[in-house]
């Protein structure tokens, strides 16, 4: 999952980034509204963590930009502004949640997972598909009680594909969402194919049928088998 953290307090931004990256998220940071606007324009993010009190930009205006240009990006407002009016404005503009400062990093993660479940139409932390149970909180995959042994990156790719089941996901999207910022010329290298090959091999012990399609020249699709 790729996250943009927009926060002018650098120490807090770094703290949030370090925590989320340990939890398996790919994070970018922006300390000003201008930089945040540029990143939103040039990148696709699953989630925007937005501080309203930016030095050069009205946070609500940045929220409007995000909603207008990146309709699939979830938004959680992180702000010391506790006034009900600001909270209502942000939610009415399209923010998915509002978490006032100071906040617990554990609560932040819980809010993020709740928002992403709503965005993807998931009712629980565990996605069951093709004899697999993908636990989004524990980052664990099991099948009929047996743990499927995956590396961290294999899990990240699988969970991303499962969240986008029956949809083609490009190599570039996988690179951006799993690895974060990359050099564009590298995105088509074979490291993604190696991880996909390993996933197919490991999961074929638990799933009958063709569950992971390669769409030539584009990317991959995790297919829900009826």
- 136/92 same-domain check: no
Residue 22 Cα distances to 16, 109, 139, angstroms: 10, 11, 12
Last residue of a domain, one of 94, 120, 146: 120
Q: What pLDDT is stored for residue 123 in this prediction?
A: 64
| CATH number of residue 150's parent domain | 1.10.10.10
- The arrangement of strands across the sheet holding 146-147 comes to 126-129, 132-135, 140-143, 146-147
Q: Can you give the pTM of this predicted structure?
A: 0.69
| CATH number of residue 72's parent domain | 3.40.50.2300
> How many domains are there within the chain?
2
> 10-residue block means of pLDDT along the chain (226 residues)?
92 95 89 93 89 88 85 86 75 90 89 84 80 89 94 91 88 78 53 92 92 92 88
- 116/35 same-domain check: yes
**56 lies in which domain range?**
2-120
Last residue of a domain, one of 120, 141, 166: 120
- 116/186 same-domain check: no
Q: What pLDDT is stored for residue 226 in this prediction?
A: 67
172 burial type by CB count under 10 A (0-12 exposed, 13-18 middle, 19+ buried)? middle
- 44/151 same-domain check: no
- 19/107 same-domain check: yes
- 113/135 same-domain check: no
Q: What pLDDT is stored for residue 17 in this prediction?
A: 95
Q: What pLDDT is stored for residue 53 in this prediction?
A: 84
Residue 175 Cα distances to 18, 26, 159, 187, angstroms: 19, 10, 14, 6
């Amino acid at each position: 999952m790729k996250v943009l953290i927009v926060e002018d307090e650098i120490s807090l931004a770094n703290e949030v980034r370090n925590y989320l990256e340990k939890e398996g998220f790919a994070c970018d940071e922006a300390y000003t509204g201008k930089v945040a606007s540029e990143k939103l324009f040039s990148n696709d993010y699953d989630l925007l963590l937005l501080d309203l009190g930016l030095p050069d930009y009205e946070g609500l205006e940045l929220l409007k930009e995000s909603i207008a240009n990146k309709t699939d990006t979830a938004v959680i407002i992180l702000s010391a502004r506790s006034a009900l009016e600001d909270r209502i404005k942000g939610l009415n503009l399209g923010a998915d949640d509002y978490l006032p400062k100071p906040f617990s990093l554990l609560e932040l993660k819980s809010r993020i997972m709740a928002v992403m479940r709503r965005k993807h139409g998931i009712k629980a932390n565990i996605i069951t598909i093709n004899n697999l149970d993908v636990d989004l909180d524990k980052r664990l995959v099991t099948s009929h009680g047996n743990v499927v042994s995956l590396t961290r990156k294999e899990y990240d790719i699988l969970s991303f594909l499962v969240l986008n089941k029956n949809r083609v996901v490009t190599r570039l999207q996988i690179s951006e969402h799993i690895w974060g910022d990359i050099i564009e010329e590298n995105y088509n290298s074979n490291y993604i194919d190696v991880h996909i090959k390993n996933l197919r091999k490991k999961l074929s012990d638990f799933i009958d049928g063709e569950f992971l399609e390669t769409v030539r020249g584009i990317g991959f699709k995790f297919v829900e088998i009826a």
